[in-house]
Structure 1
Amino acid sequence: MRLISINVLKPGMVAGKTIWNEAGHPLIQKNVVLSEGILRRLKQLGIQYLYIEDAISDGIEIEETISPEKRTKAVKHITSSFNQLKGLNSSAASLVLDKQSKAIGELVDDLLNSIMKSDEILTVLTDTLIYDEYIYQHSFQVTLYSVAIAREMGYSREELKTIGIGAMLHDVGKMIIPTDILFKPDRLTDEEYEIMKQHARSGFDILRNLHTVSLLVAHCAFQHHERLDGSGYPRGLVEYEIHPYAKIIAVADVFDAVTSNRVYRKKMLPSQGVEIINAGKGTIFDKRVVEAFNRSIIHYPNGSVVLLSDGRRGIIAKQNKDNAAMPSIRIFEENGTLLKSTYLINLDEQLNVIIEKVETDYLPNAE
């Protein structure tokens, strides 16, 4: 299967992956032939990319590190926990969250088990689960990214759990933000943004009063928007003042933010998100964290059509767990001509060739 932009989908193409709603029910089943009506519905849902089955991608599979069932369960649990905090002050929210902390810890343990037993690069397909409110799915994905980075950095199982809980609750302070600002369907004004920025301190106030989780979890919420050069908020901390856990969650938070759909902005591809993180390496993001991020997070998802620097086209066929930026590619086109038979190259062994761009709008001439 391969990844294709919604803008070039055509009736008659075949869906390669099931798309699920927040209740865990399939909206579009794998192997369904796409019709005009289905394509309209996908656009209404804000889907930007879809996996399809076709000849050039035959046999290429994409498996998420976390199953759709486990992912749906986790997001539903986060939603339920966060929604109970709406309208409460920080003290009342602390009391409610304290009662839920054991279940949250068990949820993080479950996700940790899935990540720890997988030796592959973390793969999360954000367009296979459709959820109305961004914050809940975001909390789930930041947890996965943070734990994957921290595992690569060599943290212990106990430390990974604390980081996972801190990541899952890093945005809990947003439940104190007025809903008209939190869920505003447009960009925030400067005044509204200043109010939104208060969620970091509000999260700290809620979490520091919990008796059942480490105080480090509260600092994850407090510091995940701080930056090494002092340009972050709420306190403008600099490198040595920011806790290492918060430095990890900061990278995971930004990467998921730019690679997820927002009402006012379309998502970027993972490779574009990686470029943004790397642009801040050593200046706003911790160098060691970024290097671990590069080794543990997928850059080019399987099924992505790419144009190489020598003019060849191919499709990402397999990940290289030792070098996430250098996957194996199935070459299917040379000099603009489709090949009668494809062949595989490993970019890690082709030092004179690089990926120039991802082409989600590519259609073979025959189509």
Structure 2
Amino acid sequence: MLDGPAFDYIAGAAGRELTAAANTAAFERWGLVYRVLRDDSLTDPSLTLLGTPMSLPVLLAPAGVADLAHPEGERAAARAAAETGVTMVLSAGTSSSMEEVADAAPQGHRWFQLAWSGDEKLARSLLARAQAAGYEAVMLMGDCYRAGWRPREMDSGFSPFRRGHGIGNYVSDPRFCELAGLDAPGLGFREDPVRLEAVVSTWDRVLTKPALRPRDLAVLRSWTDLPIAVKGVCRPEEAKQLVDAGADAIVVSNHGGRQLDSGVAALDCLAPVVAAVDGKAPVLFDSGVRTGTDVLVALALGASAVMIGRPWLYGLAIGGQAGVEHVLRCLGAEFTDALTLAGHRRCDTLTRDDLVPLGTPGTGI
């Protein structure tokens, strides 16, 4: 179970948490229209995205420091995802290394979130390791180049990264160890104040590249042949620029409201981004998804798939691998029921016609 500071870190958001609240409230502004006299025997919620087969249009979002929720952290989540046919997007900020997560569920499908390091050799090393460990796509973290103002975290005085959580991918990397002045992978570094300070200060210094532009995707493309998705896109013009620059997919997200307060709900950004991309690349959605019907709404607004973050962390905290599996099975069952009741057998036939905006005068079915 989560103690107070750990819960506040995971559940908290930026500022007054208005953006986080807007994310979930946005789904309440859409009503689903169900259909009658349908054949539900052939409903199939599976799909293939960027070459990765998926049982559901749902992925585990990259969520850092999962060991705050459960000692097995991302390894337990990876096993749960593999058992349910769901793809896991591994955060850059993991408790375990990417290789340990891959070994925990070798039969599963995994993508890797890249925080583009300010040290080129480290960035290239992380990418090479991900590809060698069987990760099938790269998700570039575009929305966390500066940490948001998070009062809950500050009130508790608890900063997990400062205590050495979430640095598993780094202390297992030869280049990072070189930068931190470690003569071997930094296992056990939390127990040594000197090593801990060397690791944390180096991580803080090289975590992200100071400046990134859409044209930099060409550099990333030269380092890997994995598909590249860019996460954190909310503006249509930026989505178009990124696709034109070579992005294979776009992820509409505001980081679950953890970065910028008083922000627009991510769901309100989805349809304009889909229109701007104009079918040239799949658009994924993240931020505020809590139920199977939320998934249906996002897909009807043009998303190819969604990601969930806090829900799987809460499941992990309550029941470890079994808790994450329970979250995914419930979400999948509710989504499949809703898909059928809306008159569809496949995810890709949902459209805006399946929705009615609520609270608009004169709206009818």
Q: TM tier, shorter chain?
A: 0.3 to 0.5
Query: RCO (CA 8 Å, sep 6+): is it higher in 1 or 2?
Result: 2
Q: Point out the structure with max Rg over C-alpha.
A: 1
TM-score (norm 1): 0.33
TM-score (norm 2): 0.33
